[in-house]
Amino acid sequence: MCGIFFCVHHEKNLSPSTDPEVPSFEDICGALRTVNAQRGPDAQRNVSLSIPVTPSPSNDTSSPAVVHLEFFSSELRLRGTAPIVQPHESNNNILCWNGEVFEGLDINPDENDGAVLFQELCKLETPSEVATLFASIEGPYAFVFFHGASQHLFFGRDPLGRRSLLIHRPTSLQPYLLLSSATCGPSPGYEFEELSTELLFYIDFSCFVDEACLSTLPRHDIESTIPDLFAIPSSVNTVLPSDDFPELASLDVIPPHLSQAVDDLIYQLDRSTRLRVRDIPSIDSDVTNPSKVAILFSGGIDCTVLTYLAHRNIPLDEPIDLLNVAFENPRKLQSQNSEHAKRKKSGKSEQPRRPVYMVPDRISGLEELEELRRLCPGRQWNFVEIDIPYNESQAARPVIEALMFPSKTVMDLSLAMALYFASRGVGQVRRQKDSESEPYASPARVILSGLGADELLGGYSRHRTAFTHGWKSLVDELQLEIDRIPTRNLGRDDRIISSHGRETRYPFLSLSVVNFLASLPVHFKLDPRLETGLGDKMLLRLAARKLGLVEASQRKKRAMQFGSYSARMHGEKKGDVPLE
């Protein structure tokens, strides 16, 4: 995980504003460098470049104009054995890289993927070759690359938008172009938006005139006879089941027609998880035998399957951290107290009040911890109980809102709050079920997330709603799910989690897994005719049961903000309402 900040400007456009509320350009750049440095605590570096460009016809001077480029990167070293300092620089080529290459390039365990990618980029000559190279690699990424020979600047994000990159386009009041992995929240000094993943972008400075004019590159060549493996996600299979297609009786027996699909799903997820947990370099730590991998762990089926697969691919003597967050939510406590008072007044037997932090995700997380201990003897599971008092969550709210910007709805805050504290990884652990808790701060720099399973395998209630109009409507909804992945939450989540110097990896959102699941007929993945907990994500439930995760295979869908009680601490505002 790394932070990227880039700017391009003309000196003549940077006269100080007369409005004292508007920060200077130098202050804007300084603040953005600082917030991006938090993402990569291992190293930071700044590279500046000045390029003579052709003045516009309206320019009354005969001397060429000069445009100034600044490249800043911070580095969180997660690949290779040698220290790396970004930006990568050679022969007037410059690369700011925030990503991981898991497939498509031959990278040895002792090599850094950014350095290998930079070598390949330096060999290219045309914009289309740059697009072709990125279409051949799989992994989350955002990048800014200056090609010295052609005077072209390229930038973009991976097709699913798994890494954040924000853009401020030049305006009359803010006449500079900015690219940044994160921001400091709203400011009159910029108007950031998420960079689209539909295309790659470039600027040709060899014919640059005054203001930055962006050109675009398609992610794949539609006329090419050679398929681009990772240019865009595959389309959903449109084959529909027959009217008399049989229903699954239970998870105990895999029907013959699903047997191969279950095995293939386990293979694909196991491979994807292995690529994301192997060869993580050791770091200096005061902790004996520190964990390298943590998992956002609610006890649900998605994260539990990934946890079990991570166990299969991580040396047995290496601990794995299970991050489980719970919030003190005044609204929930008030509701529980009211229910308790009603029962007392009516003469009904009083039920013991649930401890503040025994939220739904804590309960299911502890239950799944016991299942994992039974299935995986010898593994040290650090179940990190992350308990967040109300006052602490509210004190952190300004920081969280600044990090998640330009996302700014009630739901954004609920999810960002849960992710911020979960990924911080500070809580307590119990070495045994009934032992005393001990303070613990996770040293893991890689965090696995089960995000993507519901979108790809039909885990949301809206999939059942779509099915009321037939199988075709359900297929259409699943296609929309894939289409919406790049524009939903991934950029926001990256900005939140990376602020702690950690990197999120999504095994379900490997394009290899996405394309495999898209290729399957809809009725292989889910069956809305069946009850919740069986028909939703049916294929994954069968796979979990085959792996031995009996309890996990039956878990029902529960959103993180509701399972942790980070949602709606002050009232019942709908999730899409903008924050005040």
User: Which active-site residues does the annotation give?
Assistant: 2
**Are the C-beta atoms of residues 310 and 295 closer than 8 Å to each other?**
yes
**Are the C-beta atoms of residues 300 and 537 closer than 8 Å to each other?**
no
The one-letter code for the residue type at 27 is: D
d(CA 179, CA 146): 13
Place of tokens 């084959």: 239
d(CA 206, CA 352): 73
**Are the C-beta atoms of residues 243 and 495 closer than 8 Å to each other?**
no
Q: 330 phi and psi, to 5 degrees?
A: -55, -35
Q: Tokens standing for 520?
A: 């399957």
Which sign does the torsion angle of CA 360, 363, 368, 371 carry? negative
Instruction: Give the CA angle between residues 157, 96, 445 to the nearest 5°.
Output: 80
The one-letter code for the residue type at 187 is: S
Q: Tokens standing for 489?
A: 């939450």
**Are the C-beta atoms of residues 12 and 30 closer than 8 Å to each other?**
no
- Got the DSSP string for 49-88? EEEEEPPPTT---SSPEEEEEEEEEEE---SSSS---SSE
CA-nearest of 137, 201, 199, 164 to 32 is 164
Distances in whole angstroms, Cα of residue 515 to Cα of each of 10, 201, 231, 232, 520: 44, 25, 11, 9, 9
